[in-house]
Amino acid sequence: DAKTTQPPSMDCAEGRAANLPCNHSTISGNEYVYWYRQIHSQGPQYIIHGLKNNETNEMASLIITEDRKSSTLILPHATLRDTAVYYCIDGGSNYKLTFGKGTLLTVNP
């Protein structure tokens, strides 16, 4: 079973920031947090990962709390193409990703 918890769904207006939360209270000290998303009819797509520092790449920013029990994925200017299921995964295995049900983000025009 997934060791992270996420809200089942969220809405965001196009052009606004989307902030997707994730709780990972059982994460170990050396386990990274990974975020993937899955657009309808496609395979999951890697977005970003982090350990304890905030991270940013061309797709998103990742904010990890100091106690590492939760994180927030930020899409700074959401577009309609960002509508997808977003998965937060703790990196407890070196060979498999354990997906939960994720958060369905719907970006509205």
Which residues of the chain form contacts with other proteins (CB under 8 A)?
2, 32, 34, 41-46, 49, 85, 87, 89, 91, 93-102
Q: With left for phi above 0 and alpha for psi between -120 and 50, is residue 41 left, alpha or beta?
A: left
Closer by beta carbon to other proteins, 14 or else 100: 100
* Closest of 6, 8, 17, 7 to residue 107, by C-alpha: 17
Tokens of 12: 């965001």
Closer by beta carbon to other proteins, 56 or else 93: 93
Closer by beta carbon to other proteins, 43 or else 109: 43
Tokens of 18: 């989307």
Closer by beta carbon to other proteins, 40 or else 109: 40
Task: Find out whether 63 and 56 touch, Cβ atoms under 8 Å.
Answer: no
What Rg do the C-alpha atoms of the chain give, in angstroms? Answer: 13
H or E element that contains 93: none
